[in-house]
Amino acid sequence: MATAVDPVDTDYYESNITWWTGWIGFAATMLIFIGSFSIVAGFVGIFKDGYYVVPTRDLVVTMDYTAWGWIHLALGLIAIGIAVGMLAGKMWARVIAVGIALLSALVNLAFLNAAPVWSTIVIAFDILLVWALTVHGREMQSFADS
């Protein structure tokens, strides 16, 4: 005898894992790369202030490059930690990653005069991260749970 399937017992999201899960994995990997490059930029700012040709008074926010270095270093370390949580499909990591990506975009916007090409690329990646995590984040969680 056939029984009817109760629609409440089936989870829509677990049965519809799409190819966007790969994009979220890509976004987490990109967050690791962005975090790593931010760490490198942080070390350059901390240990070699004279590397940047633009004087600090020409930045959007006038601040010593050593302070910028510490900010980039901290953001990079946090980004790598958050990316590990994203790869595990954790909701808290997706929420914090959106905040970190927005903060990273703002910091790189303020750093635009010192490194215009790099800052523009990082801002573009940050926008891609926010979009991928807010639109397709639940699919990664379903993929990690299976």
Domain locations along the chain: 20-145
Burial of 49 (0-12, 13-18, 19+ CB in 10 A): middle
Q: How confident is the model over 61-105, as pLDDT tens digits?
A: 778 888 888 988 999 999 999 999 888 878 888 889 889 889 889
User: Residue 63 region, left (φ>0) first, then alpha (ψ -120 to 50), else beta?
Assistant: beta
> What rounded mean pLDDT belongs to the chain?
78
C-alpha Rg value of the chain to the nearest Å: 19
pTM for this model (two decimals): 0.72
Of 77, 83, 82, which Cα lies nearest the Cα of 41?
A: 77
Among 27-41, 57-71, 97-111, the least confident range: 57-71
Predicted local confidence at residue 121, as pLDDT: 87
**How far is residue 137 CA from its own chain's centroid?**
13
